[in-house]
Structure 1
Amino acid sequence: MVKPQLSQVHLTKLLLPDMVARGQGHLLYTASISGTMPTPYEAVYGATKAFLISFVEAVKSEIKDSGVTLTLLLPGEVDTNFWHRAGMDTSKLGLGPKAAPTKVVEEGFEAMKAGKDRVVAGKPDSKFIGNVINKLLPDTMTADLHTKGAKPGSGLENKGD
């Protein structure tokens, strides 16, 4: 099975040269706000999203005046089967409120059509975390904050009180 980030890199290599030659086009990449901070209890996931963000920003610089735009979609918590597959069913993040996938897709598509560099999509608190908190706080603090939401069982604390 090909990993999604690898697929996005391969697709970029396949699609981008023709777009640049035409002088127009848009590519939308789905990463995550997890790629903007250390993510304890989902370290590999966060690191792969950080790779994708770095990759897109580097390629964007390479093709800066080509007429092609690359847009990063950075959703927070989305109501998908991700949480179960990631084994996060008992975490605060896994049990907490989530954005509708259709809302996130719409925000990403609109940002891409507008030629925006990136959009943090989903719930208002996800947007605040992705647009403000992760830019202001040091990684040690964002890692500790993420731990509180991602730690297994953290969503079950104080239940039934």
Structure 2
Amino acid sequence: MAGNGRGRILITSSLSATLPTPYETVYGPSRAFTRMFALGLRAELKEHGVTVTCLMPGAADSDFHARASMNHTAFGPGMKKNSSKEVARQGFLALMNGRAEIVGGDATKRTALEHRFLPETYKAARHATKAKPPRA
């Protein structure tokens, strides 16, 4: 792409990149890495005509939480989730418009804004109450 002087890259991260994630302690930081990687790569490739967009979806109607054994948490089947198709559409449009990043899904935009201003300890405690699995 850089050699051709044009291109677009869409990297999927997560809203979890913006907060500490107790009970998902590897997932959140790995998504934070992915987000920073995308933004750093974007700066590197800009002079070559290549744009990089980071998509940060919140909870979406997919099998993600079931596969992560989170069905018995607040992120399980009872949670209102974003349409996966809508999140993908928003990510594609952001990519085509050359945006640096996009929070996918209407229900997560308020949460993303809150994450910019709330203390990390508060966000960690709030996430812990939602992600902590019930005791066996």
**TM-score, normalised by the number of residues in structure 1:** 0.78
Give the number of the structure whose residues are more often helix, by fraction. Answer: 1
Aligned with residue 16 of structure 2, among 31, 34, 40 = 34
Write out per-residue CA displacement over residues 107-151 of structure 1, whole angstroms, 9 at most, x where no aligned residue.
000000000001001132x11111x11111121111111112212
Shift, 1:37, TM fit: 0.9
**One-letter amino acid of the structure 1 residue matched with residue 50 of structure 2:** V
Aligned with residue 105 of structure 2, among 122, 137, 143 = 122
**One-letter amino acid of the structure 1 residue matched with residue 82 of structure 2:** A
Query: Which 5+ residue runs of structure 1 have no aligned equivalent?
Result: 1-18, 154-161
Aligned with residue 118 of structure 2, among 137, 140, 145 = 137
Q: Distance in 2 between matches of 1:65 and 1:140?
A: 38
Greater C-alpha radius of gyration: 1
**One-letter amino acid of the structure 2 residue matched with residue 66 of structure 1:** H
Q: Distance in 1 between matches of 2:17 and 2:48?
A: 26
* Aligned-CA RMSD value: 1.2
Q: Distance in 1 between matches of 2:38 and 2:54?
A: 8
Shift, 1:64, TM fit: 2.7
Q: Which runs of 4+ in 1 moved over 6 A?
A: none
- 1:18-57, aligned counterparts within 5 Å? 19-57=1-39
Q: Distance in 1 between matches of 2:106 and 2:27?
A: 20
Matched residues, number: 133
Contact 1:39 1:147 in 2 (8 A): yes
- 1:59-70, aligned counterparts within 5 Å? 59-70=41-52
What secondary structure sits across from 2:10 in the alignment?
Answer: strand
Query: Which 5+ residue runs of structure 2 have no aligned equivalent?
Result: none
Contact 1:41 1:147 in 2 (8 A): yes
Cα distance change of structure 1 residues 29 and 83 upon mapping to structure 2, 3 Å threshold: same
